[in-house]
Chain A
Amino acid sequence: MTDTATASGAPTGRLVRRLALYLALQGLVLLGCLVLAGLPAPEPSPAYRLTQARLASGDEAVVTLPHHLGARFTMDDPPRYRLTFEGPPASSGQAWSVLLPRFTNGVAVAVNGVEILDSRRTPSANRPDRSTPEIAVIPATLLREGTNELTVKLFVWGPLTGFLDRIYVGPDDALRPAYDRRILMFVTLPVVLAAWQVVLAVILGLMWLMRRHEPEYGALAASMAIGVAQTFVSAPSGQSVYAGLNAVLIASAPLESAFCVLFFVVFLGLRLPRYAAALFVPGLIITVTGLFGDLSQVRTTYLLLGPPTVAFCLVLIAVLIAIVFVRRRDVISLVLGSAVTVVLFFCVHDILSVLDIAKDRRIFFSRLSYSVMVIAVGIGLTWRFARALNQVDSFAGSMVTLVREAEDKLRASLARDEERARAIALSSERSRLMRDLHDGLGGQLVSIVALSERQRSGGAPIGEAARAALRDLRLVIDAMDDIGGDLMLALGAWRERIAAQLRAHGLKLDWRVLTPQGLPVYPELRPGHVIQIIRLLDEAVTNAVKHAHARTIAVSIETVPAGQGLSLGRIVIADDGRGFERPPGAAPAPGTGRGFANMKRRAERCGATLEIRSGPDGTRITLDLPARFADLDGIGG
């Protein structure tokens, strides 16, 4: 286990400090429990309290209530407590009642010799582990003005000794509220909590059925199911046939606590030793004895094994949780530990009471505090469940992210593949076209050039035209090559072509790349754009060659800042000729006007701007490339 590993890595001092912290917190919890246990149970006004009784069992003796009776079985000859009280004046017209806040195991109450209450007929009152109160209205006809006699027969059938708390006799209005509150606390609340346990038991049972590899749910479900059975199944008392069943029900507590240990061990992620099964042995022995043994055997077995087993299990749980808290210092084990401490406290409290060691009012809180633990466990499980869901969510989220990333990658790679396939198709188409042109048109044009040169006269224009056609052919083929948006690659080939052309005409080419990178890269650049730009530049150079009478043509290429972090490519072609500005009245050089219009049109198609300045000291054509080349649609040759 990784937790063990980290814990063993932690210095001992820190562990001790954590343990001290844990114990201090549990001490606080115990303090709270003590305060709670010290709170008085709801009682009517002391004015109606009866504490003096004459106990008739064999000899008569005066006893003070609350009275602990040592006997565990009085069914044959129940002791009678005789009490007296002053009845109301006949004119009062008030209904009077007798309230017995607490007794074990059963009472029969008679007023002036007439029996008005037998608690044995109320099943919940027969459960010694519940502090069920009884109230009975005294029929008006029985009440006398002056002294009345109250007789209480106390039935005891084990396993507890007899007990009779103080009795209240008074107006029903005065007694009823205390009775109601006690019923709420000691009868209704346990049922409500048990109902809750039913729901939890069903949910946990289902969880276990669906997730067999998590036995903690099964263990807790079993524990709760036993607890629920113990709460709802109740046997009538006083009949020896069912006495065994009662014993079995009482034996449920040791079994329940054993299951609880099982749950906590698994829940906290500890290793479950094989001998943990021994925890179930006492509960099973009690059950077997309850089914087959006689009453005294049941009593002995239960008292010997029952409470000690429960206490042992609780202590074991408390220790385990403390260890886990010291190791991991998590909130859940702290909450669980506090709950277990509460249960442990009230369990000890109840055991002391049962064994008559603490002579108190015999009000049992074990069941109620057990519910507290159920709440804590419910919180723990819900917490864990929510956390597991969160983990699933984050896992699902990260999976979605991963899948999306993978999809994006796949899409990008598909796009790349498509792009590559397109490039390959273009390239092979270009190769095919090139072979065709090479073998056909190209060869014929070259022949024309060769033949024109052999003409003594008049051949030059023909040769020039054929050369121009060849240049154009090379331009088209060149433009079809995939240059990856780098216009510089197209300009490199163009440079060679015009260099040869200018050399032939005795012109000097001054080629300057002013920025190290030349031009920006235009990913949207297509062969159509390249053809437009190169033809435009070709026309500019041709104009200069034919009409400008220049000696040098300067081509400069640069990237200029255009504001807002943008930069634009710029190509300038300048000659040192005489320009195209003519004195007024003189005709412009033939073709130049149309040539400029053509160049402007080409620039516009690409989204570029063209500026032509011509003067006596030469022509300067500035082509500013766009930030983004215009779409090709509608662009003709």
Chain B
Amino acid sequence: MIEVLLVEDDAPTRWRLQDALGTSGEFVVTAAATLAEARLSLGRDRPQVLLTDLQLPDGHGLELIRETRQRYPDTEIMVISILGDEDSVIAAIRQGATGYLLKDAFPDDIAATVRDLVAGHSPISASIARFIVRRTQDQSVPAVQPALNTARLTPREIDILWGIAKGFSYADIAGHLGLSRQTVPGHIKNIYRKLEVNTRGEAVFEALQQGLIRL
């Protein structure tokens, strides 16, 4: 059984997601409507998956993502987004989220997405991939929020993102790049990890970039 903490203030949506996850019987869902409730739940025990909305009545979901990431590094975090727009998703990725869920997604898709996430397959949308690769291309664009550090992405990872942005399937991408199809999700997870800020690695990397430390 996969323990899921669901944080969503809109009751119908919360019920909907709860139902979508609950019917399959694989998930144990704890629901929270506010940041405070969520923190309380996190204090009690570690969920395997955190699903959280960003706009909460008593605070911002990004805070919750950051706290969870620090406290339970192994917890998979997904942001619940209405539009799947990069504004919210990228901000969540930077805080440690490794995927997103559309609020109006069909129940089957919701369960499948969370299942994949636990299995190590982070979903990434074409528009998010597009946003990331465009950042790798043109760093000189004055930062339109959210800011994103893409300097650590390898050329192969960028190629994978291009493929996703253009609607190629994982199989097509793997074929084009000479990879095994199974390794593509791992690459995507790596991409997420590299885009995350405030991890120790990121701190070292940024210090190197700024010339504060030398190897």
CB contact between A451 and one of B12, B108, B144 (< 8 Å): that residue:
B12
- The residue in B103, B129, B142 that gathers the most chain A C-beta atoms within 10 A of its C-beta is B103
Q: Which residues of A contact B126 (CB under 8 A)?
A: 489, 492-493, 495-496
Closest to B144 in A: A427
- CB-CB under 8 A for A489 and B130, given A431-B144, A431-B145, A496-B125: yes
Encoded as 1 (CB less than 8 Å from any B CB) or 0, chain A from 598 to 624 comes to 000000000000000000000000000
Chain A, interface residues (CB within 8 Å), range: 35 or more
Q: Tell whether, in the assembled complex, residue B103 and residue A439 are in contact, meaning their CB atoms are under 8 Å apart.
A: no
The complex places the Cα of A431 from the Cα of B141 at a distance, in Å, of: 15
Query: Any chain B CB within 8 A of the CB of A477?
Result: yes
Q: Does A554 contact B (CB under 8 A)?
A: no
Candidates B84, B105, B166, B176; contact of A488 at CB < 8 Å: B166
Are B167 and A483 interface neighbours, CB within 8 A? no
Tell me how far the C-beta of B44 lies from the nearest C-beta in chain A, rounded to whole angstroms: 27
| Any B CB within 8 A of the CB of A434 | yes
In the complex formed, the residue of B with least CB distance to A518 is B166
Distance, CA A409 to CA B83, complexed state (A):
41
In the complex, which residue of chain B has the Cβ closest to the Cβ of A425? B144
B74 at the interface (CB under 8 A from A): no
Q: Which residues of B contact A488 (CB under 8 A)?
A: 165-167
Q: Does A304 contact B (CB under 8 A)?
A: no
Number of A-B pairs, beta carbon distance below 8 Å: 112
Asked if B130 contacts A438 (CB within 8 A), the reply is no
Which of chain B's residues 67-90 have a Cβ closer than 8 Å to chain A? 81-85, 87-88
Q: Which residues 1-56 of B have a CB within 8 angstroms of A?
A: 10, 12-13, 15-16, 55
Known contacts A434-B83, A447-B12; A503/B145 CB under 8 A: no
Closest Cβ of chain A to B103, distance in Å, is 4
Please give, as numbers and ranges, the residues of chain A lying within 8 Å of B81 by CB-CB distance: 438
| Chain A residues whose CB sits within 8 angstroms of the CB of B144 once the complex forms | 424, 427-428, 431
Q: Shortest beta-carbon distance, A407 to chain B, in Å?
A: 23
User: In the complex, A607 Cα to B102 Cα: how many Å?
Assistant: 35
Please tell me if the beta carbons of B87 and A503 are within 8 angstroms of each other in the complex. no
Residue A331 CB within 8 A of the other chain: no
Task: Find out whether the CB atom of A443 lies under 8 angstroms from the CB atom of B10.
Answer: yes
- The contact size tier of chain B is 35 or more
A449 within 8 A of B: yes
Q: Which residue of B lies closest to A463 (CB)?
A: B104
Say how far A526's CB is from chain B's closest CB, in angstroms: 17
Q: Is A516 an interface residue (CB 8 A)?
A: yes
Residues in B155-173 with C-beta less than 8 Å from chain A: 164-169, 172
Cβ of A454 and Cβ of B104 under 8 Å apart? no
> Which residue of A is nearest B145, CB measured?
A431
Residue of A nearest to B143 (CB): A424
Q: Is the CB of A473 within 8 A of B83?
A: yes
A470 contacts which of B104, B108, B127 (Cβ < 8 Å)?
B104
Using A428-B144, A443-B10, A489-B166 as known contacts, say yes or no to A477 and B109 having CB atoms under 8 A apart.
no
* B205, CB-defined interface residue at 8 Å: no
Across the interface, do A513 and B104 meet the contact criterion of CB distance under 8 Å?
no
In chain A, positions 483-504 with a C-beta closer than 8 Å to chain B are: 483, 486, 488-489, 491-496, 500, 503-504
Closest to B19 in A: A453
Residues of B within 8 A of A431 (CB): 87, 144-145
Residue of A with least CB distance to B167: A492
Interface flag for A380 (CB, 8 Å): no
Q: Using Cβ atoms and an 8 Å threshold, which residues of chain B touch A500?
A: 102, 105-106, 109
By a CB distance below 8 angstroms, the chain A residues around B105 are: 500
Contact B168 A483 (CB under 8 A): no
Residues of B within 8 A of A467 (CB): 104
A404 to chain B, nearest CB (A): 26
Which residues of chain B in 127-155 are interfacial with respect to chain A, using CB atoms and an 8 Å cutoff?
Answer: 127, 129-130, 141-142, 144-145
Chain B residue contacts of A495, Cβ below 8 A: 126, 167
Would you call A491 and B167 a contact (CB within 8 A)? yes
- From known contacts A431-B145, A473-B83, infer whether A492 and B106 are also in contact, taking CB-CB under 8 Å: no
Residue of B nearest to A473 (CB): B83
- Chain A CB within 10 A, most for which of B55, B144, B166: B166
B169: A residues at CB distance < 8 A:
511
Please tell me if the beta carbons of B15 and A478 are within 8 angstroms of each other in the complex.
no
A215 interface hit (Cβ, 8 Å):
no
Which chain A residues lie closer than 8 Å to B172 at the CB level?
513
Task: Give 30 pairs: A residue, B residue, CB < 8 Å, sorted on A.
Answer: A420-B141, A423-B141, A424-B141, A424-B142, A424-B144, A428-B144, A431-B87, A434-B85, A434-B87, A446-B10, A447-B13, A449-B104, A450-B10, A450-B12, A450-B13, A466-B104, A474-B84, A477-B83, A477-B85, A481-B127, A486-B166, A488-B167, A491-B167, A492-B126, A492-B127, A493-B125, A494-B167, A495-B167, A496-B167, A500-B105
Which residues of B are in contact with A by a Cβ distance under 8 Å?
10, 12-13, 15-16, 55, 81-85, 87-88, 102-106, 108-109, 125-127, 129-130, 141-142, 144-145, 164-169, 172, 176
